Amino acid sequence: MMSHMEQTLFPRLEALYPELVRVRRDLHMHPELSFEEVRTPQLIADWHERLGLEVRTGVGGRGVVATLRGGKPGRTVALRADFDALPLHDEKDVPYRSTVDGVMHACGHDIHTAGLLGVATVLSEVRDQLSGNVVFIHQFAEEVVPGGARSMIEDGCLEGVDVIYGAHVHSPKEYGTVGTIAGPAMAASDTFTVTIRGKGGHGASPHQTVDPVVVSGHLILALQSIVSRETDPLRSAVVTVGSIHGGNAANVIPEYVELKGTVRSFDPAVQEAAEASLERIIDQVCAAFRAEGTLDYVRGYPATINSHAETERITAIAERVVGAANTYEQAPAMGGEDFAYYLQKVPGTFFFTGGRNAEVDAVYEHHHPRFDVDERSMLVTGKIFIAAVLEELAAAQAD
């Protein structure tokens, strides 16, 4: 059953919906790439300043943090939304299509941002009744490692924060559904580059060369054994080579071949072992063919590990908002998310709000050039955020 405060604030959020759609579509039409955001953080800061909140800009680089102080002392709850776009050309035929060639919101960060502005608006109207504080973290550069979360944390965005919540609109799931998961939710996402150096020459005289193309073929196959033969099958991992570059002509054996790939894992021990195995296999395969191999391994975001208590809270709230039948246990995903850094500092959880709706052609996956979602997902996430804040602050008072 909804609390009295929820019964008051949920309709207020619904009344704001047309304005939130306007803001979301404005952001969608003016996307900005990671680490290049200027207009977006200014829009966010202006909104919070109009609400009379304490606003910090340039946090960790381009982040914005707004603080709502309740009328009485208490705990501090943080809510996070990201706001960067992707280097894709928007192929949708809609009035709010991106006006920036080659850049679009293809992951839903515009939805996250507009929705959180709505939550801030609603909660600011009852600030005198709140026992505690709410911190609105608007993060830049989630899409590109090293991301914005770590630098924002280093710049103090979590100072005094007791718990944090985050959400992502989820295009594979229907609007009106919510997925939660306790424990490992999203994987650590590392990248690697392998350079195989041989001896170039004429394609008709391979015996006079050391062919890095042939070596790369053997290496790609050998790397598959890291998961299939070196990793406990009950402890997940992925090793993928996604890019191969070498040579320019059919009759020329090149001097080198470059491979790029990614490693995904949930367990730090598996992550360590996979990196060590990569280095060992590269060295030995290359040596077997008289080539030289070098590895550049870059640690990406750590695994996103949700706290159990906070996940249980969000699950119960979601069941009130969308119904128990529409609340499901989200399976762990191998995608990466720098919300993980916040969870390393304070307890919290990251949940998923369904955004798929064929009636509005919102049927494409994240990072697709025709990506879109049902904008009402902002209301679902917003209501869950509002309820989580109210419960956290009330629980602290009860204690």
Q: Residue 152 and residue 223: Cα distance in Å, rounded?
A: 36
With both helix axes pointing from N to C terminus, report the angle between 39-50 and 109-124 in degrees, rounded to the nearest 10.
10
Q: Residue 180 and residue 301: Cα distance in Å, rounded?
A: 20
Percent of all residues in the chain with a pLDDT value above 70, rounded to a whole number: 99
pLDDT classification of 4: cutoffs 50, 70, 90: confident
pLDDT confidence of residue 399 = 59
Q: Which residues on neighbouring strands pair with residue 75, listed in sequence order?
A: 132
Q: What is the residue type of 5?
A: M
What is the DSSP secondary structure assignment for residue 210, as one 8-state letter?
A: B
Q: Residue 145 and residue 338: Cα distance in Å, rounded?
A: 9
pLDDT classification of 3: cutoffs 50, 70, 90: confident
pLDDT confidence of residue 62 = 98
Mean pLDDT for the stretch of residues 348-377: 98
pLDDT digits (tens, 9 = 90+) for 181-236: 999 999 999 999 999 999 999 999 999 999 999 999 999 999 999 999 999 999 99
pLDDT digits (tens, 9 = 90+) for 329-343: 999 999 999 999 999
pLDDT confidence of residue 395 = 79
pLDDT classification of 397: cutoffs 50, 70, 90: low
For residue 2, pLDDT over 90 is answered with no
Residues with active-site annotation? 84, 142
Q: Residue 348 and residue 341: Cα distance in Å, rounded?
A: 11
Mean of all residue pLDDT scores within the chain = 97
Q: Residue 229 and residue 282: Cα distance in Å, rounded?
A: 16
Domains of the chain: 4-185+303-398 (3.40.630.10), 188-301 (3.30.70.360)
pLDDT digits (tens, 9 = 90+) for 278-334: 999 999 999 999 999 999 999 999 999 999 999 999 999 999 999 999 999 999 999
- Cis peptide leading into residue 206 (ω within 30°): no
148: nearest Cα among 254, 269, 63, 247: 63
- Within a 10 A sphere around the Cβ of 150, how many other Cβ atoms? 18
For residue 398, pLDDT over 80 is answered with no
80: nearest Cα among 276, 337, 302: 337
pLDDT confidence of residue 162 = 98
CB of 388 closer than 8 Å to CB of 162: no
Q: Residue 50 and residue 18: Cα distance in Å, rounded?
A: 18
Mean pLDDT for the stretch of residues 54-66: 98
pLDDT confidence of residue 134 = 98
